[in-house]
Amino acid sequence: MMDVSGLTLTEIEIAQIAKPSIGGVILFSRNFTSIDQIKQLIASIRAIKPNILVAVDHEGGRVQRFKNGFTHLPAMLRLGELYDKNPKKALKYACSCGFILAYELLEVGVDFSFAPVLDLDYGNSSVIGDRAFHSNADAVVQLAQALIKGMHRAGMKCVGKHFPGHGYVALDSHLDLPVDNRSTKEVYQDMAAFKGLIDQGLDAVMPAHVVYSTVDDKPAGFSKTWIQDILKSKLGFEGVVFSDDLSMQGAFFIDNIKDRVQVSLDSGCDMVLICNHPDMLLEVIDQDWGLNEKLQSMQGNRKYKSDKITHLQHLETIKSLL
């Protein structure tokens, strides 16, 4: 999965998207000015490759790439705060947030968002912070399940991140390689949020660029132990696994980008992301990495026509949070 540089495609990007190795495009704030513009950009991407996946980080709060014309959703921690006071109301709001998030993205042609965040809020991590629902795994499961329910109702698949949990470490994996030295038991307590959702509609997972030293000496996204042995075999996850961005500093655990891609795929990732570093993309784009039919399950239900009245009803539900 690659990114693109601006509001329209360059000639180089048109040629890159057409290559067999490219199965997806992730969009950022720099790619968006208006609803009409983003529709045109996505249409131009699909004119090259109709079944390509189009994704975005669109969680709410401070991580929401599209704003003008979109509902600016609250940070998920707001739902957690409400959950402590009124669980029933919080779950209703979470479902509405999920529906709105998915409905508005599907309307412009995006297949899915990399959401929800399933990390626990320990108050340590500036990069996670209020992106997390709660500090309690059971609360995260309840709120995330409601959010996913809303996303599914609108016709969108979900991606839980960052497996097995990024919330405890203070360092930002965009800038460093965090190491979580807690006991295996403590790390597994974080993982409970993922475990609790695997049989409750979790479509895809993104592993963290974090080393959990008592389990493996490799970051989770490069670890067969975490992806094959624990996520797939022990927890029974059968969905899609996306790597986090392989150009992040947390991925520099492996120096060479070709090796990073290969180790990620060998470890169990179905699709790898390379963002904001076109030089790295050039090093791997012409190599045959094989086809993964499982990825097509992540396509948004573009034929699904959700009721706009329902969208307005969900907006009314969460008005007090906006």
Q: Which residues have a catalytic role annotated? A: 174, 244
Q: How far is it, in rounded angstroms, from Cα 41 to Cα 28?
A: 12
**In 145-259, at which residue ranges do the beta strands (DSSP E only) sit?**
159-163, 179-180, 204-207, 211-212, 240-245
Q: Is 143 helix (H, G, I), strand (E, B) or coil?
A: helix
| Strand 58-60 with 112-113, pairing | unpaired
Measure Cα distances from 16 to 13, 178, 194, 243, 262 in Å: 5, 32, 34, 20, 19
Q: Are the C-beta atoms of residues 256 and 262 closer than 8 Å to each other?
A: no
Residues facing 103 on adjacent strands: none
E strand or H helix that includes residue 302: none
For 297, the token pair is 């399950």
Tokens standing for residue 166:
């990024």
Enter the DSSP assignment of 240. E
Place of tokens 């094959």: 228
- Output b/e per residue, 203-215; b: 16+ Cβ within 10 A: bbbbbbbbbbeeb
Question: Which helix or strand (DSSP H or E) is residue 54 part of?
Answer: strand 53-56
Nearest to 110 by CA among 204, 14, 45: 45
